[in-house]
A and B are shown apart, each in its own frame.
Chain A
Amino acid sequence: MKNTAAVITVKDLYKIYRVGETKVRALNGVEFAIRRGEFCSIVGASGSGKSTLLNMLAGLEKPTKGEIVIAGEHMERKNENELVRFRQAHIGFIFQSFNLMDTMNAVENVALPLTFQGMERKKRTKKAEAILDMVGLGSYKNHKPTQMSGGQQQRVGVARALVVEPEIIFADEPTGNLDSRTSREVMELMQRVVREKRQTLIMVTHDNELAGFADRIFHIRDGKIIKIEEQMGRETG
């Protein structure tokens, strides 16, 4: 497969937080490129800068210095409005704590990003239902988040990230609130879906075993990438 076109390019990325007098170097010169359709996981100790990196890639935070080019566009040059628009079109996001809307049922939750895009009700409901079928929640369409298990909720979260058919999906510890068996199921689901649709998935995790689902593993320590691990036998993606 020719996957050489980089969908994400990061150059010389720094993020320095100022806390009183002291400076915290959350990211201290990071450089990498991710190809389209790749599944990458980011691992590292707590406080190493994983979330910071992911948030910056998703345009939720501005870098102190450096370049982030996603799908040919410079994230660091966009204002907040443009970033929202960009996320609408290109990015899906999966949260650790699911962050579903309590008042909405599964279909409405999944359809929410389409609602924001201005898609009409019938169309978006149809799409959301199809995605829910795909993640195996066909019979939970009308359930509210409070009526579902954590694993089911996260499947809804995954479905919501997928519904806009984004090129890139970010997930910050998507299985952090799930037990290990459910975590594996969700991981398998994500892996299968992004493979099928050739979507790029970037996932932050603590768990080395879960990180193993990825094509590449970025090891990060003190704001620096110390090692990029290629997973053998997964290049077929």
Chain B
Amino acid sequence: MRFGDLLFMSAASLWKRKVRTILTVLGVVIGTASIVVMVSLGLGLNRSTMATIEENGGLTSIEVREANSYMEGDSTNQEPKRLDDTLVETLKANPHVELVSPVLSISVIAKCGVYENQLEIRGMSGEALEQMGIPLASGEVPVSEDELAFLYGNQVLAGFMNSKTGAGFWSDGTIPEIDFEKDAIFLIYDMDSYYNSQGNSENNGQSVKPPKKYLANYAGLAEGGMDTYKSYSWYVYCNIVPLENHLKRIFKGKLIPGQPSTASGKPYKQFYYNEIYAEVDDMEYVGEVQKWITDMGYQTYSNTEWVDSTKKQYGYIQAVLGGIGAVSLVVAAIGITNTMMMSIYERTKEIGVMKVIGCDMKDIRTLFLMEAGFIGLIGGILGLLFSAFISLLINRVVAGMGMEMGLSYIPAWLAGASVLFAVFVGMTAGFFPALRAMRLSPLAAIRRG
């Protein structure tokens, strides 16, 4: 028989038994829909986690820190291994490390008219700043090593407070009227002296000269509103080379805040970094590189462990959810088998006649397999539509709760796979009935009735 005729005949026979077909299809619809919804929930959870991870610095970056910076108190006889340019060079030599940048961070006071804020400045190499790919609302990344200019995170503005009224974004929601590009922003690097000068004037009346203010050059502003948090939102970035030069000029041999000192309290000649940022070429090697650095005696952070554990966790959730769906589909499959058996029982005579007038055995088998496959196909498609609808509802609900990305996510592969799977289940369920139909004796068939 021709394929088209086979399709037509099996479809016609389903059509003839509409009510039963619909009921059987319903089982598949429910089974497919539950699998798809459950898997989509798992995928959606996974996706939103991945997005969070991306926001928190991506999957290939490693943060290197001093090993025992937090227990400095009891490391009396042992100098902590500091982060210096030698280490930067060592890291650069590793073939899997694509980019290394020291991070020199320093807290400063920023003043702009009546507004005041404490900023966290992070000096990094121009290359690293570019690699971070911070989307800019205006300006550019401060790559120049000659001039000190600052790139502001999108939430930095929110930290400015009116020093007279105390009004600010966090206290009463007013957004400070500051234009980083046009307004003059002054930075005070020597915070200790600054606070001393302020405190003294109030308590002792003995005036201390306030430290010098420096005008901050504008480089750029990160894109995003006051509410969109990204890993860079709170920081002010600049190129590390001019920052170091600038700091040396300001403090002139005195101890720069945040830098370690010798036992006698003298500053070191070179800069030590708070952090070194390293970018690995592939996620696969993050663990390896991390171990290498840890073995050298430093502390490292990356998102890999977090990713691995969340992945595993979501894998379990998905397996469980998918399993529930699978069970319902198995039930649907039994329904299909039952329907097909009934259909064959009813049509024994018809099948017998077909055999007598020359229908190939394998065509009979194909007819019944197709019928079962059709039930799977229709059920799969309807189930998919149904689950898309449910998914929409779920996402509506969680969007109302502030999850803009949505909890349920049906990628194309899931849609395709679910329909294919439903067809497969249908055909599997129809396999034995089809064999049975094929083997019916034509004689027994025509004798009946």
> Residues of A at under 8 Å CB distance from B?
55, 58, 60-61, 80-81, 84-85, 87-88, 91-93, 95, 97, 99, 101, 103, 112-113, 115-118, 120-121, 160-161, 164
Contacts and interface: CB of A to CB of B under 8 A. Distances in A.
B357 A97 contact: no
A112 B1 CA distance: 10
A120 B357 CA distance: 17
B359 A84 contact: yes
A60 B353 CA distance: 11
Nearest to B361: A81
Contacts of A87: 356-358
Contacts of A160: 357
Contacts of B361: 80-81, 84
A60 B442 contact: yes
Given A55-B443, A60-B442, A60-B443, A118 B356 contact: no
The interface centre, meaning the residue of B350, B358, B363, B443 with most chain A CB atoms within 10 A of its CB, is B358
B360 A84 contact: yes
Given A103-B16, A118-B2, A95 B359 contact: no
**Interface of chain B, main secondary structure:** helix
Nearest 7 interchain pairs by C-beta: A88-B358, A99-B353, A116-B359, A60-B443, A116-B358, A113-B357, A87-B358
Contacts of A93: 356-357
Contact of A115 (B5, B350, B355, B441): B5
Given A60-B443, A61-B443, A84-B359, A116 B354 contact: yes
A160 B443 CA distance: 19
B349 A99 contact: yes
Given A99-B349, A103-B16, A84 B1 contact: no
8 contacts: A80-B361, A91-B358, A95-B353, A101-B350, A113-B357, A116-B358, A120-B2, A161-B357
Interface string B249-283: 00000000000000000000000000000000000
Contacts of A55: 443
B446 interface: yes
A191 B357 CA distance: 21
Nearest to A51: B447
Interface in B191-209: none
B403 interface: no
Nearest to B16: A103
Contacts of A121: 5
Contacts of A60: 356, 441-443, 446
Contacts of B350: 101
A116 B1 contact: yes
Interface string B337-367: 0000000000001100111111111010000
B449 interface: yes
B446 A95 contact: yes
A81 B357 contact: no
A121 B9 CA distance: 13
A171 to B, nearest CB: 12
Nearest to B4: A121
B355 A84 contact: yes
Interface size class of B (residues with CB under 8 A): 20 to 34
B443 A97 contact: no
B12 interface: yes
Contacts of B357: 87, 92-93, 112-113, 116, 160-161
A164 B357 CA distance: 10
Contacts of A103: 12-13, 16
B358 A164 contact: yes
Contacts of A101: 350, 353
The interface centre, meaning the residue of A80, A99, A103 with most chain B CB atoms within 10 A of its CB, is A99
Contacts of B354: 112, 116
The interface centre, meaning the residue of B356, B360, B363, B443 with most chain A CB atoms within 10 A of its CB, is B356
Interface in B278-324: none
B356 A116 contact: no
Contacts of A113: 357-358
Given A112-B354, A117-B358, 11 more contacts: A60-B356, A61-B443, A81-B361, A84-B361, A87-B356, A87-B358, A88-B360, A95-B446, A101-B353, A116-B359, A116-B363
B319 to A, nearest CB: 44
A100 B1 CA distance: 19
Contacts of A95: 353, 356, 446
Contacts of B359: 84, 116
A124 B198 CA distance: 104
A80 B354 CA distance: 13
Contacts of A85: 360
A96 to B, nearest CB: 9
Interface string B316-335: 00000000000000000000
Given A103-B16, A116-B363, A118-B1, A58 B356 contact: yes
A140 B74 CA distance: 106
A116 B13 CA distance: 16
A85 B443 CA distance: 16
Nearest to A88: B358
Given A60-B443, A101-B350, A84 B449 contact: no
Nearest to B360: A84
Contacts of B449: 97
B54 to A, nearest CB: 57
A84 B442 CA distance: 10
A25 to B, nearest CB: 18
B1 A99 contact: no
Interface string B148-185: 00000000000000000000000000000000000000
Nearest to A120: B2
Nearest to A99: B353
Nearest to B6: A115
Given A55-B443, A118-B1, A118-B2, A81 B360 contact: yes
Interface in B423-449: 441-443, 446, 449
The interface centre, meaning the residue of B1, B355, B443, B449 with most chain A CB atoms within 10 A of its CB, is B443
Nearest to B3: A118
A91 B356 CA distance: 9
